[in-house]
Amino acid sequence: MVKTYWEVKFFLFANSYSGTKIPFYIKGKFGGMKLAKAIKRLSDILGFKYKQTADFIILGIKPKCPYHRLPNPLRIYLEIENELSKLTEEKLDQYSTALADYQRQLLYPAIERAVGNLLENVEDDNKFERLSEEKFRSAIYTYYKVARKYGLPTMRNLPFLLSIIRITNDTDEK
């Protein structure tokens, strides 16, 4: 199976925090031709194929993993994104500032949880603590490295991406 940059990028996006929030936002905000324009704008911004993006947003068709065994950096990235989604849902019950995460109020706890999930079979608490501190710094680096390499939206720039889509559709009306 040939893995292209674009297949991996779309797989990571579809299984990320942004990949869950953007379709929810676009389907809730736009309808008809505006929905098609918003999907087109998103696919242009992120460099995806329109049909693939439309199938994902409208029909909920997620791409299959392009790897038989996911490389460790991608696994770390997806684990952090998964924990971000879980934490956001938990925090939205308490307060609604989860989308504006400028002080890393959700990202760092998500990374801590992801690192804890990835550390398997560690019986000793001291050893677990030491390993998690070491892996935490590495996980932060890996998360941003993968996000940058594939040009993926993070929680911090998601509001800007959504505003570009919204503003573009608003100007198309006039």
What average pLDDT does the structure give for the chain? 83
The CA-based diameter of the chain, rounded to the nearest angstrom, is 64
Backbone angles phi, psi at 66, to 5 degrees: -75, 0
pLDDT for 149: 93
Residue bearing the bigger pLDDT, 149 or 116: 149
3-state secondary structure 57-72: HHHCCCCCCCCCCCCH
* Residue 165 CB neighbour total at 10 angstroms: 23
Please compute the mean of the pLDDT values over residues 72-91 and round it to a whole number.
Answer: 87
Q: What is the pLDDT of residues 45-68, one digit of tens each?
A: 899 999 999 999 998 888 888 888
Q: What is the pLDDT of residue 52?
A: 92
- pTM score of the predicted model: 0.82
- pLDDT for 86 equals 86
Residues 96-111: pLDDT tens digits? 554 554 445 788 888 8
Angle CA 107–111–113, to nearest 5? 115
DSSP one-letter string for 112-167: HHHHHHH--S---HHHHHHHHHHHHHHHHHHHHHHHHHHT---TTTHHHHHHHHHH
Contact predicate 122/91, CB 8 Å: no
| Radius of gyration of the CA atoms of the chain, in A | 17
Amino acid letter for position 91: K
pLDDT tens track for 22-44? 898 888 888 888 888 999 999 99
Return the percentage of the chain with pLDDT > 90, whole number.
Answer: 24
